[in-house]
Structure 1
Amino acid sequence: MTLVVIGPVTKDEVIIESECKYKVGGATYFQSFVFEEFYEDYLAIVNCSDSSLIDEFPDLDKVRVILKDETHFFINEYPDGSNMDIRHQLSNFANIPILKGDLESILPDDIDAFVLNPLNRYDFPLETIEFLKSFNVPIFISIQGFLRLPDVKVNENYTIKLDNFAMLSDILRGVTSIFLDEAEANIIGTDFDVDEMVVTNGSLGSRIVSDNEIKIDAVKCDNVVDTTGCGDTFMAAYVSDRLCLKSAEKSAEFASLIASEKIHSFGPYNSEK
């Protein structure tokens, strides 16, 4: 049985104060390093125009590329290196949807669960979501991409604003878990037909909303180097534990620990750093 992780791989520019670095990114990229460590039977499916981007993944045998006409590009700027909770983002808002037909020939025969990582609301049309629901396995979705809209154009990219999405209730109906931060929860609320909502709040911790609410403290980190992909790391660690039948509370505590370890160094999670 295989965990299938789907979403764009990106070209990223990360600016921390005056220092700029270029790297591969995207939630599916960051999560693949966590799954490689804690849930080895996974398959990452990415969409982009540049297949060489997958060279940075931990195991190329576990990656499939859906070639499109564009690649997602993000600029992540952290103006204050002492407060990495503050981030300014720009994106090209690539319109490269993942379609049912893109997936039919590359999905494995036996699937444990799906993890879906939209980076904007073009990435997963409702038809694709309904197709994945037909497998009747757990589905974990990161919400942020569905809420993103282009705002002010800056050169070839756009600042990002967040707004509700009319089709969100249909997309989420029957989903196992959704992941979002407190700002996004304030936009969409918590009234959805899902088993649980996992709401993160950076250095202030997280909470799980289901039949009741469980609050989880963040694991303190005194050496914050790079928070890009921290939420994606948290989600992957949480999913890894949940699929091993751990409780929501234990899974969130484990995810907080792994996320704190990730931000000690630049780039994706690496247990050896």
Structure 2
Amino acid sequence: MTLVVIGPVTKDLVVIGDEKSQRIGGATYFQSFVFEKFYNDYLAIVNCSDEDLINHFPDNGKIKAILKDDTHFFENTYPDKNNLDIRHQLSNFASIPILKGDLENLLPEKIDGFVINPLNRYDFPIETIDFLKTFNVPIFMSIQGFLRVPKDKVNERYTIKLSNFEELSYILSGASAIFLDEAEKNMIGDDFDVDEMVITNGSHGSRIVCDEEIKIGAVKCDDVVDTTGCGDTYMAAYISQRLLLKSPENAGNFASEIASQKIKNFGPYNFNR
């Protein structure tokens, strides 16, 4: 059986202080490096206009591309290199939705679960979510993308506004776990039919709301290099352990450790360390 991880791959510009670098990004990209190490039976499905982007994944034999007419672009700016909890973003807000018809011939016969990684509200129409729910397997969802809408235009890009919307409760209903940060939690509340809510708070750690509330401390890291993709790394590490039947607390502590290892180097988690 296979874990199916779905969401855009991106072309990114990362600005840390005065240093700029072009990167490959997207939650599915960062997560694939974690799953490669800790839950090797996975398939990543990405939407983009450039099929060559899959060559940047750890195993492009486990990647399938849905070719669209655009690719997501993000500019991630960290103005203070000594405080990488603060990030400003711009995006092109590519409208390249993943449709039921895109997925029907790509999915494996037997599926362990789905990981849904929207980067903006266009990525996963409700009809696609409904289709994935028919498989009756665990579904893990990142929330931030569902909340992202364009705000102000800046040099052909847009600043990002987070906005709740009426259909979100329906989209999340029945999820095994949803992943969000404290600001997003304050925006959407907690009246959702989900098994677990995993709430991250950067260097302040995280908490898991299930039958109880479990607080997870951040693993101290004195050499923070790159926090882009840290939340995606945490999410994948947590999911890998829950699918291996670890407790939420054990999964959270493991995810915190893996996220702390990721931020010590540029780019995705280095599973060869």
TM-score bracket, shorter-length normalisation: over 0.9
1:253 is aligned to: 253
1:110 is aligned to: 110
1:235 is aligned to: 235
2:183 is aligned to: 183
1:213 is aligned to: 213
* Equivalent position SS for 2:112: strand
In 2, Cα distance between the equivalents of 1:135 and 1:177? 16
In 2, Cα distance between the equivalents of 1:236 and 1:85? 20
Instruction: Supply the RMSD in Å over aligned alpha carbons.
Output: 0.6
In 2, Cα distance between the equivalents of 1:272 and 1:101? 37
Kindly provide the amino acid, as one letter, of the partner of residue 67 in structure 1. Answer: L
Aligned length: 273
Residues 1:27 and 2:27 aligned together? yes
Residues 1:92 and 2:92 aligned together? yes
Residues 1:141 and 2:141 aligned together? yes
1:69 is aligned to: 69
In 1, Cα distance between the equivalents of 2:33 and 2:271? 9
Kindly provide the amino acid, as one letter, of the partner of residue 235 in structure 1. Answer: M
Contact 2:98 2:123 in 1 (8 A): yes
Contact 2:33 2:271 in 1 (8 A): no
In 1, Cα distance between the equivalents of 2:43 and 2:246? 22
* Equivalent position SS for 1:15: strand
In 1, Cα distance between the equivalents of 2:7 and 2:180? 16
Q: Give the CA deviation at 1:149.
A: 0.9
Kindly provide the amino acid, as one letter, of the partner of residue 7 in structure 1. Answer: G
Runs (4+) of structure 1 exceeding 6 A deviation are none
Unaligned stretches of 5+ in structure 1? none
Q: Report 1:123-202 matches (<5 A).
A: 123-202=123-202
In 1, Cα distance between the equivalents of 2:166 and 2:54? 33
In 2, Cα distance between the equivalents of 1:92 and 1:165? 21
In 2, Cα distance between the equivalents of 1:17 and 1:144? 24
* Equivalent position SS for 1:122: coil
1:267 is aligned to: 267
Kindly provide the amino acid, as one letter, of the partner of residue 24 in structure 1. Answer: I
TM-score (norm 2): 0.99
Q: Give the CA deviation at 1:272.
A: 3.2
Q: Give the CA deviation at 1:271.
A: 3.0
Q: Give the CA deviation at 1:155.
A: 0.4
**CA deviation map 1:145-200 (0-9, x unaligned):** 00001111100100101110221011011111000000100100111000010000
In 2, Cα distance between the equivalents of 1:182 and 1:125? 25
* Equivalent position SS for 2:135: coil
In 1, Cα distance between the equivalents of 2:193 and 2:272? 39
Kindly provide the amino acid, as one letter, of the partner of residue 106 in structure 1. Answer: L
* Equivalent position SS for 2:146: helix
Contact 2:8 2:117 in 1 (8 A): yes
2:121 is aligned to: 121
In 2, Cα distance between the equivalents of 1:219 and 1:233? 14
2:49 is aligned to: 49
Q: Give the CA deviation at 1:208.
A: 0.5
Q: Give the CA deviation at 1:34.
A: 0.2
In 2, Cα distance between the equivalents of 1:80 and 1:240? 32
* Equivalent position SS for 1:73: strand
